[in-house]
Structure 1
Amino acid sequence: MYPNTPLSPRPLSHLADGGPVLLTLRQLRDHGVSPADAADRCAPGGPWRQILPGVFLLHPGPPTSEERLHAALMYAERPVDASAVRPSPVPGVRHGASSFPRQPGSPESSTEAMITGLAALNLHGFASAPPLTAIDRIDVLVPRTRRVRSVGPVNVVRCQVPPRPLEVTGVPVAPVTRALADAVDGLDDPVTIRRLLTEALRSGRCDATAIVGELGRARLLTRPPVMDAVESLHAEGRALAEGRLYAVVRAHGLPEPLWNVELRLPDGPSLGCVDAYWPDHAIALEIDGMHRGHEAGGPGEFAGKREQLEQLGLMVVRAEPRRLRDRPDELATVVRTALMASADREPAAHVHVLPC
């Protein structure tokens, strides 16, 4: 039934040992294999398997986790280089994930499809993500215009403007924030959702503002399990950011400020709370996006508070959580410069300082 004689001038004999393990129907045609021939080889007891529409596994038995990932990508969109997939294990990759290096001399793949959701989080190294073998359906992110449907083990996720994929062990993978949103979209368990979001924050892969922003764009913030998880995320993010701010002040020998205080005009309204305040210099510092009252009043109210403080002659320094995490020396320089320059400013209005 499966003769060894060549089927065309481009025979498949070179695929037998160490060759590609996945080919699309178009690639098979390039090797002289007709759809009928492919179907014959995929018959019960045959040497091949069709694991997705138009995607063939060139060995019997179930596909590995790596083969499932690449089959999903090949189904969603064939890479430009059209080179077949050849697995090569990489030591230290969790849950048996392996890389699929490009063949020598092959051009860089420019596929627009990328792995997202739980499978992407696994490849990013999330301990709270399930192993690939436990993920029944792989999410693949594609442009909204892509004409492909979800089928069996592949869930097609559409996006108006896809993010730039990251290459993880040779696989195009959605960035962490996008992968998180797509994973959360398919989950109902609040404990699992909270674990994933918390790990993303604690590991430093992304900050709370970026996570909440992506969840908002995905219209997930109104779902009760997500709302509860985001509330905990804000508290966790604030604690992490404040801890980093304390470390910046003390490690760089900056004057100790008053921490978490409310500023109020004498016999007047409250000007709001700030994360740090140097009364002798009339300098307030806010952790951007994590300020108190953010959830209730929103960023517009915060911008109005900053403008009001500046109109009273106070200087407001913004400390982005990402800068606190990645560039603390830069923030320390900004604060030190502001403290040194305060003597050259006009005196600020007198304000009362109260515990926040």
Structure 2
Amino acid sequence: FIHNRPMYRLLIILISFLFTVHTVCASVAIPYVFVKNYTVDDYKASCQNWGFSLTPDGMLYVANNSGLLAFDGNTWRLYSLPGQEEVTGVTNYNDTIYTRNETMLGSWTYDKDGTLRYRPLNMVPPEVRFTPPAVETPFTLPKEIQDAQPSAFATNGTLFFIGTLTQGLYITDSDGTILQHLSLQNQLQDNIVRFICVQDTRQIWVALDNGLSQISFDPPITLLGKRSAIGKLANAGLDGEELYIQTNLGYFKRSLGATSPFVPVNEAEAQPYLKTDKAPVPDVKQLFRNTEALGIFAQAGLVYPAGDDLYWLSIGNEAGLFHVADGIGTLKCRLLFDN
């Protein structure tokens, strides 16, 4: 791990830094969002998606031009229709998944071997609804949103989510104040929103003409922003609530409050908090007996202890926080690095 010391320190910063949300006026909190984008390379199907259905057991089903996508939180699977037709609508009722397109209706159920099987239908039970209940917005849509051609609405009871055909996703409060605007210009991979699914109060899914997005609100662990005038990060450390960093431009510090800027400090002040931990770290196979349950993290080449039997595993541009008990790892948090 000696050769990866800068990356180690960077990950420690990403793990340690807590993002404090801004406020609008005196009372409206702007939610910090973490966006995980899924592309055709991730789910191995068409780029165009039409809708979602989330089952009580946590399975996510997606209506896709290539068929029915299923996601268990770790692995994507594509189920094709007999004639390779597209799926433009999906819902679930009584342990059965229902799909449709312009000419076909069908149901999907798991057989005794756990394989999802398709059966064509002439009609669906009257209780089955492909269109979710209408969301009533207690405000007049701002002109900016109206001009973007609204296409999908959802709410988690506090925030309102409005997808559009030209400008991505808007997040508002109950007064119609725009708190966040996600689009191609910042975190989304497409501006055409087809469907929004609320998983819970802290997470939604967005179906796009080009991919899928999983959006989490105010996650407990987030990423630092882009480099500003501080240069390229080389090392970091904490002194209580003070964060010290070393970059190619020198040494800086700031408090963990989000409104505090980095200020230059001299090497003598910063160096005591930038000591390198040289303790040996076990690898994945030494830590876990159930490596097959770790998903992509079973191949992680970098392991970082976080204390209390917690370890960060890093592979590619992702990191997962796992708790280890008797060799069994449980995923607690997953991060995607933007570069």
TM-score range, shorter chain: under 0.3
TM-score by length of 1: 0.22
Give 1 or 2: higher helix fraction. Answer: 1
TM-score by length of 2: 0.23
Structure with higher RCO (Cα < 8 A, 6+ apart): 2
